[in-house]
Amino acid sequence: MAEFKEISPNASAVAKLGNWFDNRFPTAGVMYRDHMSEYYAPKNFNFWYFFGSLAMLVLVIQIVTGIFLVMHYKPDAALAFGSVEYIMRDVPWGWLIRYMHSTGASAFFVVVYLHMYRGLIYGSYRKPRELVWIFGCAIFLVLMAEAFMGYLLPWGQMSYWGAQVIVNLFSAIPFVGPDLALLIRGDYVVSDATLNRFFSFHVIAVPLVLLGLVAAHILALHDVGSNNPDGVEIKGPNAPKDANGKPLDGIPFHPYYTVHDIFGVGVFLMVFSAIIFFAPELGGYFLEYNNFIPADSLKTPLHIAPVWYFTPFYSMLRAITSEMAGALALIVLVAVFFASRGKPVVVKAVLWAVGIAVAIMLGLLPAAWNLLGMSFGSISRAMPWLGGIDAKFWGVVVMGGAVIILFFLPWLDKSPVKSIRYRPSWNKWLYGIFVVNFIVLAYLGTQPPSPGGERISQLGTLFYFGFFLLMPWWSRKGEFKTPPDRITFAAH
């Protein structure tokens, strides 16, 4: 048992209360010092570093508003839509709580996307922060699951049919797909059983996992220290320190960055409030108009699309047609050709065997036959396995792979410097094109399918994966500037 600290009898009442609390819960003081007052962060943070704290703020908003919504929501297919209308019309300030929660869902993805982009341009995933990045990507993946399950709960037309389409995608997985889709739905169609499952996961299971990952993300970050726009380490063995071992290029997180973040919070809350009070639907992007119509299993909406933060990945899913799968099979064979050059015979044989097998599964043979103007029907009837796996399955693989590939970013980037400030100038254009491509894919995912949109989304999908898969090659090219020994900082 730790010894009690004494305090002067003449101390103020506040000081006495603080001493009393510290003697009985010293761990709180240790955590405050380790993660706030004595946690040294680089002194050159810019506006890009607002979004981590904003993500924490939105998480709190979602939890608090969710608690109040659950008090009145009924997870029953016959009552769910009516209970949401009751919250909106009859519960005092219920409309505000509901709009805060729905707007908060979109705001969460806005700040998380910007937070991840900051990590991308400043190399925050590089050594020694690989685990911080992996925890962050896991948070993103769990957040998508949380948002998808919450999207079903209003039980409107788009909630119902969006869930129907997305869950049915799992049935495309060979062998286990139909059983997996049945397990997720709890029935043969999206029904009351599905609503109850999604409600329990959305309210209890997934938030617990999310909170655990957020805690792990922050603890891992504070163990290795924050990155900065220069990508220069302030806590390494060669970093300049004062006589007490404190980084000369760092400042305590509290009070300096708490005040810094309060400014960002103020700006965010003004924008957040403006949307809630003046445009909570935001033209149908935050709340779709079809979702104000009760779910009807007998009436399919003209166009089914997920909410905007899923649409880049939904666009990639739709881009994978049989024709596209055949093109991917050809790309696989070309990649095997270059990868096998100069390799031992055994390695070369294994690479070609795997490459040809993958190409056949992608549907190389039907694509080649069609290109020659010949019918593949008779062959596929005799040997169906030569026809490859349905393109719908590869669409699911691509959609999932678009998120999973982010986990490997620390090992894909071979650049000798972390920050984009010291990379070749054309890197900024490349990252800019990546952002534009992602936004275009998001827009196309909200639109009905069209031949032109299909081609653009296919090119966009190839660029998205090419950006990451070719990163070990292009990230080393060009002339790099020499990073400074100490961080650059101008007072403002």
Contact call for residues 487 and 230 (beta carbons, < 8 A) = yes
pLDDT, tens only, 242-298: 877 788 888 899 998 999 999 999 999 999 999 999 999 998 889 998 999 999 988
Q: Which residue has the higher pLDDT, 165 or 61?
A: 61
Same domain for 30 and 44: no
Contact call for residues 370 and 376 (beta carbons, < 8 A) = yes
Same domain for 423 and 367: yes
Same domain for 463 and 320: yes
pLDDT band at residue 379 under the 50/70/90 scheme: very low
Same domain for 10 and 79: no
Nearest in space to 460 (alpha carbons), one of 484, 474, 483, 444:
444
DSSP summary character for residue 201: I
List alpha helices for 341-424, DSSP H: 345-362, 364-371, 377-382, 391-404, 409-412
Which residues, including other chains, have CB under 8 Å from residue 482's CB and lie 6 or more apart?
Answer: 422
Same domain for 320 and 266: no
First to last CA, the chain: 47
Same domain for 387 and 441: yes
In a domain, 489, yes or no: no
Same domain for 320 and 393: yes
Is 72 annotated for ligand binding? no
Length of the chain (residues): 492
pLDDT, tens only, 77-101: 999 999 999 999 999 999 999 999 9
Contact call for residues 122 and 66 (beta carbons, < 8 A) = no
pLDDT band at residue 377 under the 50/70/90 scheme: low
pLDDT, tens only, 297-331: 889 888 888 899 999 999 999 998 877 877 777 88
Is 260 annotated for ligand binding? no
The pLDDT value given to residue 151: 93
In a domain, 490, yes or no: no
Same domain for 379 and 287: no
Same domain for 278 and 397: no
Q: What's the mean pLDDT when you consider all of the chain?
A: 88
Residue identified by tokens 């009690």 is 4
Contact call for residues 58 and 271 (beta carbons, < 8 A) = no
CATH number (domain holding residue 260): 1.20.810.10
Is 222 annotated for ligand binding? yes
Is 217 annotated for ligand binding? yes
Q: Among the three residues 304, 326, 350, which one is the final residue of a domain in this structure? A: 304
Same domain for 396 and 293: no
Same domain for 14 and 44: no
In a domain, 112, yes or no: yes
Specify the number of domains making up the chain.
3
Nearest in space to 197 (alpha carbons), one of 149, 161, 154:
149
Using the predicted structure, report yes or no on whether residue 117 has a pLDDT greater than 90.
yes
Q: Which two tokens stand for residue 132?
A: 């911080």
In a domain, 431, yes or no: yes
In a domain, 309, yes or no: no
What range defines the domain where residue 442 resides?
A: 315-482
In a domain, 488, yes or no: no
Instruction: Tell me the C-alpha distance between 447 and 463, whole Å.
Output: 20
